[in-house]
Amino acid sequence: MPHPLPQSVLFCCDHNAVRSPMAEGIMKHFYGTGTYVQSAGVHNDLEIDGFAIAVCKEIGVELSRHRSRSFDEMQKWGDDLGSFDLIVALSPASQKRVLDLTRFYHLTVDFWPIMDPTAIGESREQKLNAYRQARDQIVSALRDRWGDPMPG
């Protein structure tokens, strides 16, 4: 049975360049603007990944305008972690960091073990296939949690 959509959700991973921006973009695409959706990384040392942009475009999700940001930058810009109803960590490092940062907050932190596609494959097609796998894991996790996408 799908859960009701939260008021706000934050997706996080290591660099906010692949998994968390994909999750943010796909969630917005699937469920509309009724939920405030953001993403962040433990670090902000990479720009949005071109393969992530490409595989999301295949399903109608536009990521090219995404700007990567870290937890520290979020707090600097006034996006308080305590204001999110749900934080979904997509990597072990982000789960550890977010649990440290939110230990005094009353919110839910989930862990979705989404594969990191960045080191998989030699050729462009192999790399795209790895990114598609990560994208499809995110799609599956979203559907498991909140049901089928809203008609749009």
Q: Are the C-beta atoms of 130 and 120 separated by less than 8 Å?
A: yes
CB atoms within 10 A of CB 34: 10
| pTM for this entry | 0.94
Residue tagged 């994208």 (tokens): 135
Q: Are the C-beta atoms of 13 and 38 separated by less than 8 Å?
A: no
pLDDT confidence of residue 74: 87
Residue tagged 């959700």 (tokens): 9
What CATH number should be reported for the domain whose range is 8-146? 3.40.50.2300
Query: Domain extents for the chain?
Result: 8-146
Q: Are the C-beta atoms of 43 and 70 separated by less than 8 Å?
A: yes
pLDDT confidence of residue 152: 61
pLDDT in tens, the chain (152 residues): 788 999 999 999 999 999 999 999 999 999 998 999 999 999 888 788 999 999 999 999 999 999 899 988 888 887 788 889 999 999 999 999 999 988 888 889 999 999 999 999 999 999 999 999 999 999 999 999 999 998 76
